[in-house]
Amino acid sequence: METVLSISSISKRYGKIQAVNDLSLDIRKGQVFGILGPNGSGKTTTLSIILELLKSDAGRFQWFGKAPSKESRKRIGSVIESPNFFPYLSPVINLKIVADIKDLGYGDIDRVLHLTGLYERRNTRFKTFSFGMKQRLAIASALLGSPDVLILDEPTNGLDPQGIAHIRELILQTASQGTTIIMASHLLDEVQKICSHVAVLSKGKKLFDGEVSKVLAISDSFEVAATDMDSLAGAVKLLPGFLSAAREGEKFLVYFNGVIRPDELNRFMFGKGIILTHLSERKRSLEQHFLELLRDNE
């Protein structure tokens, strides 16, 4: 899959604060990539750097396999600050102004108004819009000209549940048409619901990245039992990533550092001539994993 954005070792410091610390990431076409971290973890700074609104102190990044350029900028739409439009003008006029600035025709305006559910309100003044509608207009404006990438900073901040649902749907719909989405969020639940991939940031450092479904599947422990518990005790120690095993009644609770699938574990034991009589995973949620990662990094 084509790499859309490749970030290599970028860092940014504000005085004593290391806002971004040696961050590397690869984002591929079609991904809905969440940059997840608590307030102050460097998400906005990272987005500002890749949008060339800020210069990094070190490192580099490439868009579509090349150094950033006027051409690459045209392929990227973004909403990084609170929506800002002319209050007394309608969405249509506001979008015409944006289209002029972006050097685009007006042919795409109706499409983005329909997509964001604002078509019926196209001739009402912006100042009468709810916060959610303003946010959707900002996304509509970013989607003018069908960019290949849409970058959003905390897209559901300050919205009510209905507004949140609207924006989520809009992001998923945009992604389903092949647009790569890069979004910053401090909400784990949001990333779980929307994103295909995630990078977790804490104090400007990447703690972890990968497919959301794999992160969700992370299990740090298994319960296992076999008729010959002594052989089992010896064999579990040979498994990749083995950390420790503790006897719990008729079973062992085995901990691993990293991901191991139950079928791998089962096959491994079978290969050693051990037939398991019990095998069950103790799953961790992404939330537990996220909290552990943040705690470990404190």
Binding of residue 123 to ligand ATP (CB under 6 A)? no
List the structure tokens of 45: 């700074």
Contact between 21 and ligand ATP by CB under 6 A: the answer reads no
Of residues 98 and 184, the one with the C-beta less far from ligand ATP: 184
- CA–chain centroid gap for 118, Å, is 26
Cβ distance to ligand ATP smaller for residue 38 or 240: 38
Are 11 and 20 within 8 A, CB to CB?
A: yes
Contact 170, 115 (CB under 8 A): yes
Tell which one of 7, 33, 43, 91 touches ligand ATP (CB under 6 A): 43
The contacts of residue 297 (CB under 8 Å, 6+ apart) are: 202, 203, 205, 207
Of 37-45, 72-80, 111-119, 138-146, the segment contacting ligand ATP by CB under 6 A is 37-45
Q: Based on the shown chain and the rule CB under 6 A, indicate whether residue 82 belongs to the binding site for ligand ATP.
A: no
Query: 3-state DSSP call for residue 80?
Result: coil
Note whether 223 and 248 are within 8 A (CB): yes
Closest distance to ligand ATP from the beta carbon of 293 (Å): 15
Please give the size of the binding site for ligand ATP, defined by CB under 6 A.
Answer: 12
Which of 195, 256, 191, 148 is closest to 37 using CA atoms?
191
DSSP label at residue 69: -
Does 121 bind ligand ATP (CB under 6 A)? Our answer is no
Out of 4, 33, 37, 50, the residue judged to bind ligand ATP by CB under 6 A = 37
Gap between the Cα atoms of 39 and 185, Å rounded? 9
Identify the helix (H) or strand (E) that includes residue 115.
helix 109-115
- CA 234, CA 245: separation in Å to the nearest integer? 10
Q: Does 202 bind ligand ATP (CB under 6 A)?
A: no
122 binds ligand ATP (CB under 6 A): no
CB within 8 A of 266, min separation 6: which ones? 276, 279
Our CA angle for 159, 142, 154, nearest 5°, is 35
Contact pattern for ligand ATP over residues 168 through 187, marking x by CB under 6 A? ------------------x-
Give the range of 43-51, 137-145, 213-221, 225-233 binding ligand ATP by CB under 6 A: 43-51
Minimum CB–partner distance for residue 207 and ligand ATP (Å): 13
Residue 226 Cβ, how far from ligand ATP at the closest point, in Å?
A: 47
Q: Does 42 bind ligand ATP (CB under 6 A)?
A: yes
**Residue 17 engages ligand ATP in binding (rule: CB under 6 A):** yes
Residues 30, 40, 59, 117: which binds ligand ATP (CB under 6 A)? 40
Q: Which residues bind ligand ATP (CB under 6 A)?
A: 14, 17, 19, 37, 39-45, 186
